[in-house]
Amino acid sequence: MLGRVMPLQFRPIEGLQTGLIGYLLADLAEKAAVVIDPPRGQTELILALSEERGVELKYVLRTHVHAADADTCEELCSRTSACLLAGDELEMAGMPAARLRRAGHGATIPFGAETIDVIGSPGHTHGSLSFLWQDRLFCGDLFDLDCCAPGGGEAEPGRLFDSLVRRVFVLPEETLVFPAHPIEARRVATLEELKMRLAPMMQHGRDTFITGMLARRTTSAAAL
Ligand SMILES: [Zn+2]
């Protein structure tokens, strides 16, 4: 219907050089928004989208940050009233305490009339979080086992297995999963599809999963 204002907006934001994907979620009626894992170099786009839609950016959410790339999104936060929200265990050096919020498993993040549920999902990194909004899960690199493997000092296979089994696979199978970068060229998959994809690695249990992950890490390191 022409002229009708949609009350909610969901907008992937792709990094130009990195291929990483962030996500802008906006409650247009309440003029509030959050952005999840904004790709480096897309601050201007996020600001333009927020201004065009007349929404105030409330939070910048991070699923995880790697030690070698500790982007705190300071510019985006400093040019808006947004607070950075990250896991309890994440190092965020240089971020002013007043603009930093910590959240752990079970926390809820309000924006406008909407709510995001925080799911603690360590394993890809020590303090990784996932964010559940309606039927959509934003989980960073949780499902990217090949990304975990190379140089994998940060990956913790046992915790990853536990996060998948106890925290993520308990969600409805029709949940739409949006990763931090495409998995096998796909930008979204259902949880059911991803369960099936990981089944060969997970079906023999936790110890076998850990052994498999460590073997992939060794193989990747040897190939460098
Ligand atoms: Zn990662």
pLDDT tens for each residue of 88-122: 766 677 777 888 898 999 999 999 999 999 999 99
User: Residue 207 Cα, ligand 1 centroid: separation in angstroms?
Assistant: 23
Contacts of 151 (CB under 8 A, 6+ apart): 220, 221, 224
Q: Are the C-beta atoms of 75 and 49 separated by less than 8 Å?
A: no
Q: Output the pTM of the full model.
A: 0.92
Give the single-character DSSP code of 216.
Answer: H
| 170 vs 90, residue with greater confidence | 170
pLDDT at 90: 66
Q: E-strand spans in the chain?
A: 8-14, 21-27, 32-36, 56-61, 83-87, 100-103, 108-111, 114-120, 129-133, 136-138, 176-178, 189-190
Say which CATH class 8-223 falls into. alpha beta
Asked if the model's pLDDT at residue 152 lies above 90, the reply is: no
Instruction: State how beta strands 100-103 and 108-111 pair.
Output: unpaired
User: Residue 65 Cα, ligand 1 centroid: separation in angstroms?
Assistant: 7
Mean pLDDT of 136-161: 80
| 206 vs 4, residue with greater confidence | 206
| 170 vs 183, residue with greater confidence | 170
What phi and psi values does residue 112 have, to the nearest 5 degrees? Answer: 55, -130
User: Residue 139 Cα, ligand 1 centroid: separation in angstroms?
Assistant: 10
What are the pLDDT digits (tens) for 1-53?
455 556 889 999 999 887 899 999 999 999 999 999 999 899 999 999 999 99
Confidence of residue 150 (pLDDT cuts 50, 70, 90): very low
User: Residue 173 Cα, ligand 1 centroid: separation in angstroms?
Assistant: 23
CA distance 2 to 136: 27
pLDDT at 10: 94
Domain ranges in the chain? 8-223
Percent of the chain, pLDDT > 90?
62
**Among 215, 74, 55, CA closest to 145:** 215
Asked if the model's pLDDT at residue 185 lies above 60, the reply is: yes
User: Residue 197 Cα, ligand 1 centroid: separation in angstroms?
Assistant: 19
The average confidence (pLDDT) of the chain is 88
